[in-house]
Amino acid sequence: MSALRKLVALLCPGFVLTAGLAIPPAIAQGEAYRLNGADLVPLPGAAITREKGTMIVHGWTDGQAVVHRPVHLEAADYAYATIALEGLAPSRQARFAWKAREEGVTTPVKARLPWTGGGTVTIALPPSWRGTISEIGLLVAGQPGQALRVKSLTLREPSVTNWLRARRDDWFHFGPWQLVDINFLRAHGLGTAPRLVPAILAACALAAVFALIAGHGAGRQRAPLALALVIATGWLLLDAAWQRKLLLQLAVTRDTFGGVPVAERPERDIDAHLFALSQRLAPQLPVDPARRVFLLHPAKGHQYDRLKLQYHLLPRNLFNFGSSLPALGTFRTGDHVLLLGSVPNVTFDAASGVLRDEKRAVAASPVDVTEAAALYRLEAGGSAP
């Protein structure tokens, strides 16, 4: 057999081995557990109809739809879940939900369903899928819009076929398009299983090594051609994955912003909650560059929420200050401290009008305090006892 034929014969199984299938999952003997969509029960507030085993959800309240059903299953019997759900807009968030009972304690758990642009998705059930399962269901959050058609929910046993289904949907699900994605395909994934990019590179490396070894025999004159084919194949596979990611982002962008006036688009974006927060806080913050706002957040380094809120509050003079109060002498009367989310080391004593952290205390008065954010005005004198 020539080196080229050997290469082709090895490429497919080599890809499987390098992707993590050297020891494939055991083939299950039992049957899957399947619920038709019409077998599920919606929570109050959802407008639904049933049609030939399918549940059609026309609308819901409070920004989410929930359908569920009590069951009695042992988690150890199943390793994968397949959900057939049509009409899911990419701007919505879908979750597979269940209640697990272990050692007398029942815990509600959710796992994100990747959006792949298709009507069916398979996920590997996470480590929190354990014990006795007393309830399973689906949760969809976002704008109601187009009706959802819940066709089925299927629990599957460990098998090579189900492993491949889960890998496919993990490798090719939609992930938000970043600026660096213009030139890169990031090796992202939902779990700890092998990623697409390393799997392709490993398969190509294995095929290239084989081509070089085979080139020492009678067909060594074909080794350069075989190496070129390996490189071209890897390049095309990565480019195809990149193109798919780009097309999914196009669908998401069209669904999210298509036909929406420019002024309303921030309300449809993934950071709509931060935009709404900035719109509420902005009138209470001076635009004067001499007046500063110290933005506190518990995360270390760069963090999306704190940076995006800073952007939305421009042109105000924001200091993305960390998670501690400004030291005495670094602020003036009329400056503000903005706590984004919970900042455990900073507390406000309403009785004394003092804002404290582990090292210092400053006189302050509350301006706008909610669970999402707390805004305080720093008062004259700065320090407090």
CATH of the domain at 86: 2.60.120.260
Give the pLDDT score at 129: 93
- Domain-embedded: residue 223: yes
Q: Is the same domain home to 85 and 133?
A: yes
Q: Is the same domain home to 276 and 331?
A: yes
Q: State which amino acid sits at residue 281.
A: L
- Domain-embedded: residue 336: yes
Give the pLDDT score at 194: 59
CA distances from 310 to 13, 210, 216, 269, 352 (A): 50, 54, 62, 16, 30
Q: Is the same domain home to 316 and 368?
A: yes
Cα–Cα distance, 325 to 333 (Å, whole number): 14
Token pair, residue 261, equals 């006036």
Q: Is the same domain home to 215 and 151?
A: no
User: Residue 206: which domain range?
Assistant: 3-21+179-255
Give the pLDDT score at 329: 76
* Local structure of residue 364 (DSSP, 8 states): E
Q: Is the same domain home to 153 and 56?
A: yes
- Domain-embedded: residue 267: no
Q: Is the same domain home to 132 and 234?
A: no
Q: Is the same domain home to 125 and 196?
A: no
Region of 168 on the Ramachandran plot (φ > 0 left; ψ -120 to 50 alpha; else beta): alpha
Give the pLDDT score at 301: 72
Give the pLDDT score at 215: 61
Give the pLDDT score at 96: 93
Q: Between helices 304-312 and 272-281, what is the axis angle to 10°?
A: 50
pTM above 0.85, yes or no: no
Q: Is the same domain home to 296 and 364?
A: yes
Q: Is the same domain home to 150 and 40?
A: yes
Give the pLDDT score at 31: 57
Q: Is the same domain home to 230 and 288?
A: no
Give the pLDDT score at 97: 92
Q: HEC states along 200-266? A: HHHHHHHHHHHHHHHCCCCCHHHHHHHHHHHHHHHHHHHHHHHHHHHHHHHHHHHHHHCCCCHHHHH
Domain boundary among 204, 223, 255: 255
Cα–Cα distance, 261 to 189 (Å, whole number): 34
With a cut of 70, list the residues of the chain below it in pLDDT: 1-31, 61-62, 91, 143-145, 179, 186-194, 214-222, 380-385
Cα–Cα distance, 53 to 56 (Å, whole number): 10
* Total structural domains within the chain: 3
Give the pLDDT score at 17: 40
- Domain-embedded: residue 167: no
Give the pLDDT score at 370: 86
- Domain-embedded: residue 363: yes
Phi, psi dihedral angles at 231 (to 5 degrees): -65, -45
- Domain-embedded: residue 13: yes
Phi, psi dihedral angles at 321 (to 5 degrees): -85, -10
Q: Is the same domain home to 129 and 61?
A: yes
Give the pLDDT score at 248: 82
* Inter-residue contact 306 to 338 (CB < 8 Å): no
Residue 373 pairs with which residues in a beta bridge? Answer: 340
Q: Is the same domain home to 327 and 239?
A: no
- Domain-embedded: residue 27: no
